[in-house]
Amino acid sequence: MAKVGYIRIRCDETDGSYQLKGLELDTVYEERISSYCAVRPEFEKCYANLQENDTLYVESFARIARNNIELCDILCRIAFLKKANFVSRAEKFSIEQGDEQKIKAKLDCISYMAKFEKDLNRERQLDGIEKAKQKGKHLGRPQKLTDDEKKDITDKIRSGESVYKVAKEYNISWSSVYKIVGKKNNTSETDADGSI
């Protein structure tokens, strides 16, 4: 039943010892890494070495996770896979082994918050897309051909040029030529040389 600490020092901080000040810990894992980094080698070592009924102490949720979804995943792994305890000082949040219903209730709350965060992000994304469309901004991949080039392709195909030759001239696939002309991609309509 070891007391384990994890300290993540932000890039703009000089020292992280204040994070777990006043605690007598058996082992402390410390790393200087940005919160943007998904891979945290020292945290992975810390997690790997956690034993059943050990207690992991952190200063805040922000030190171990970048968002609620990641937080929920980490806490579930600590509580149910490692069967370890967890304490976050800033949020005054703890998971203590022994009462599985209590643990599930706490993690359900975080899970709902994670889902809520995900839904909000999706809603904001859709709002942003809609506003961009209203402003007339083009979304997605840039068009390879102009409207005039598409009209030229249609005229050339209708005048009898081969699909293969037109596709090569405009540096596009023959299926793109069919899409532009409005024909289905049907091999029965093409000759061996690619002409219609």
For the stretch 173-195, pLDDT in tens is 989 999 998 854 444 444 444 44
Number of domains in the chain: 2
Question: Do 107 and 173 have their domain in common?
Answer: no
Q: Is residue 125 part of a domain?
A: no
Q: What's the whole-number mean pLDDT along residues 67-81?
A: 91
Residues 8 and 84 placed together within one structural domain of the fold? yes
pLDDT digits (tens, 9 = 90+) for 124-174: 999 998 898 899 887 888 888 988 999 999 999 999 999 999 999 999 998
Average of per-residue pLDDT across 116-127: 89
Are the C-beta atoms of residues 78 and 95 closer than 8 Å to each other? yes
- What is the distance between the alpha carbons of residues 95 and 35, in angstroms, rounded to a whole number? 23
pTM for this entry: 0.60
Q: Are 166 and 157 in contact (CB under 8 A)?
A: yes
**Looking at the structure, do residues 12 and 104 belong to the same domain, yes or no?**
yes
| 52 plus 8 within the same structural domain | yes
Same domain, 7 and 96: yes
* Domain range for 96: 3-116
Q: Which two tokens stand for residue 166?
A: 């037109």
| Exposure b/e, 62-93, CB count within 10 A at least 16 = b | bbbbeebbebbebbbebbeebebbbbbbeeeb
Q: Which two tokens stand for residue 88?
A: 């976050």
Residues 110 and 154 occupy one common structural domain: no
Quick one: 103 and 152 in the same domain? no
Nearest-CA neighbor of 126 among 118, 42, 171? 118
Q: Is residue 180, in this structure, part of any structural domain at all?
A: yes
